[in-house]
Structure 1
Amino acid sequence: MTGPSTTADQIQPAHPAWMRRLLMTATMILLLSLSAAAIGSIAQRLTAPAQIVAVAPQPVPDAAREVGMPLVVSPAWLREQRSVPESPLMVIDLSDIRAYEREHVPGAMHAWWQDGMDQNAASYGQALSPNPYPTGPREWFRSLGIDPSTRVVAYDDRQSRDAARFVWLMAFVGLENGAVLNGGLAAWKGAGLPVSDEAPPLSAPTELATDIVPPMVIATAELASWLEDPALTVVDVRTPAERNETLNDTIRTGSIPSSIPIPWDRLILDESGQLRSNAELRAIFAGAGLSPDREVVVYGRFGTDTGLLWLALRLAGYGTIRVYDEGWAIWASRPELPITE
């Protein structure tokens, strides 16, 4: 005896179990991806740079030098000099790109400060590998449209530290027309000057044939051999917090023997990075035992940390200043080199 027949219309196709699991997995992945994208977008908004708060511009230290423009300029100076047609002037904003897109000095061009580093160097932040000298910083300036006749004023949103490094890099490749805007955008706004969210047209690359200045830097081997030389003064620019960093337990803590601590944040008046007066800077350096007639070597965690102290020493009348561009990150990673706890 046979059972009831089944018609084609009564057959209900069913997905195999493996297909159902695959569909469920794909759906979960899609939902997780959308959630991650939403969280990432929220996180980006939460971590976006804060609005630059205006500060009252303070008197600019005497920043004249033998050649080129002053090392530090005021908002008023920048406003006046931009109207001088016979002498081109470029403003470089080294801030976070999101801060730049929101507001900047009108006509300022954005540049990313890390582009001034040698990507092949052993230590983060170095401007150059030991030998041969690369053309990295020079090519960066060329791509920005900077040539020996271009006057450049730089500012950032990190207490003038990146702007000072930018000016040091310019001097490093033989360009003496770089200056830091004292207090950056905060002081510009505090002077009642307008801001813009429009990017200017890109400048055409220039022909830039300048010579790198090797005496402005010192390598690890040379520094190690000179530590006992009484004519040399080594200055540590790190803050107490920076001195305790181990870079994920990859380096030792401590300092280069006989180095003198002068944290970079002692050199500025406020969060905008406005520099102290020449008299105050000279008093800080003299109190720490520095002398203008002795060679000074400056180091930080990385080479990029040294610009502000280099600038302040120049303002205070110190002539021979060299940057240990490999920085504490390299010194502390080499167990054969001495350290002081």
Structure 2
Amino acid sequence: MSPADHRTLISVAELRALQAAGRPLLILDLGFDLADTAAGERAHGQGHIPGAVYLHLDRDLSATKTGSNGRHPLPEREAFAARMAALGLTAETQVVCYDAQGGMYAARAWWMLRWLGHTAAAVLDGGLAAWNAAGGALTQEATPTPPRSDFRAGASLVEALDADALQTQLGRVRLIDARAPERFRGEVEPLDKQAGHIPGASNRLFKLNLAEDGRFKSAEQLRREFEPLVAPQGAAGVVHQCGSGVTACHNLLAMEHAGLLGSKLYPGSWSEWSADPRRPIARA
């Protein structure tokens, strides 16, 4: 770990500086489309940041779905660590995660790297659009496979709760749901078995973390916006969820960038919760 590590967001200029300095880098393209799960991989082939490798939400960042464990269940830590070792990840490597969807998929990879204990992981602020706007080149050339490293999962830097643990804490934690307001209220449900939300949750659409230019709002502004949702327990008393444990990571990243440290993730989120008829639900 180095004081120069980027641990939440990294700008295009900072990424270019690391490239110029020869810092060990692993650039991950996480572009994805829930409606067309091959779209991100196609887009990567049509043009990506030089040196980037593609990771697929379903194949690389999720385990097999059973129908009751959510739409994007976390893989085993050891399996994801092995995937990272195959990409040459070491403790000295700065990982930069990006997508073309406002960081919603990149944030999931960022959280998972912290779950493995890797500190030097950051999301490219503004993603592919910011790279393009800065005149960054794209390539269609596949990135050569690096030598496999001996990377192994270390102590997690983040905390996750399962459904049972969350249910025992309802009313004592501040639960933040990152889904669109109409889904949160239960007016529509295009993806999961039931409409509504987990009782006691507050709604914070993840897109509210972004400014008009697609970059994250300033740390100061994010802090002002999240503080009413965090009080009175503080950040460590916050649990994030969404539909399937993906966009919740965007809110968690925004809080970390704002200096509101230590919030938790419920990875199964609404897709897991709503699949179990024993779980309470709320609407409106």
Q: Is contact 1:117-1:137 (8 Å) kept? A: no
> Please, which of 20, 27, 35 is the counterpart of residue 91 of structure 1?
27
Are positions 1:213 and 2:156 aligned together? yes
- Write the distance in 2 (CA, Å) between the matches of 1:103 and 1:337: 44
Once the two structures are superposed, residues 252-309 of structure 1 have per-residue CA deviations (whole angstroms, 9 ceiling, x without a partner) of 2111111111111111124x74111112211211244545354110000101222211
Name the residue aligned to 1:264: 206
Matched, 1:239 2:180: yes
Q: Which amino acid aligns with 1:158?
A: Q
- Equivalent of 2:128 in 185, 201, 204: 185
Identify unmatched segments of 5+ residues in structure 1: 1-64
| TM norm structure 2 | 0.86
Q: How far apart, in 2, do the equivalents of 1:333 and 1:90 lie?
A: 36
* Residue aligning to 1:117: 62
Q: Residue in 1 aligned with 2:6?
A: 69
Aligned residues: 268
- Which residue of 2 is the match for residue 127 of structure 1? 74
RMSD of aligned C-alpha atoms?
Answer: 2.3
Matched residue, 2:216: 275
Report whether the alignment pairs 1:338 with 2:280. Answer: yes
Identity %: 25
Letter in 1 for 2:43: A
Contact 2:245 2:267 in 1 (8 A): yes
Letter in 2 for 1:237: A
| In the alignment, structure 1 residue 78 sits paired with structure 2 residue 78 | no
Q: Distance in 2 between matches of 1:325 and 1:91?
A: 24
Contact 2:235 2:263 (8 Å CA) reproduced: no
CA distance in 2, matches of 1:306, 1:66: 27
* Amino acid in structure 1 at the alignment position of 2:216: L
Change (3 A) 1:192 1:247: closer
1:81 Cα offset (Å): 0.9
| Counterpart contact for 1:126–1:325, Cα < 8 Å | yes
Query: Does structure 1 retain, via aligned residues, the 8 Å contact 2:8–2:123?
Result: yes
Contact 2:237–2:263 (Cα < 8 Å) also in 1:
yes
2:87 maps to what in 1?
144
Q: Aligned pair 1:308/2:244, yes or no? A: no
Rate the CA distance shift 1:228–1:94 in 2: closer, same or farther, 3 A.
Answer: closer
Once superposed, which parts of structure 1, at least 4 consecutive aligned residues long, lie more than 3 Å away? 65-68, 241-248, 287-294
The change in CA–CA distance for 1:289 and 1:208 in structure 2 (over 3 A counts) is: closer
- Distance in structure 2 (CA, Å) of the matches to 1:177 and 1:217: 20
Q: Which residue of 2 aligns with 1:254?
A: 196
SS of 1:92's equivalent in the other structure is: strand
Rounded to whole Å, the distance in 1 between the matches of 2:169 and 2:117 is 26
Match for residue 46 of structure 2 among 93, 102, 105: 102
Greater Rg over alpha carbons, structure: 1
**Preserved contact between residue 92 and residue 154 of structure 1 (Cα < 8 Å):** yes
Q: Which runs of 5+ in 2 are unaligned?
A: 32-39
Residue 37 of structure 2 is matched in structure 1 by none
**Shift of residue 154 of structure 1?**
1.2
The aligned amino acid for 1:166 is A
**TM-score by structure 1 length?**
0.72
Amino acid at match of 2:72: G
CA distance in 2: counterparts of 1:175 and 1:213, whole angstroms: 8
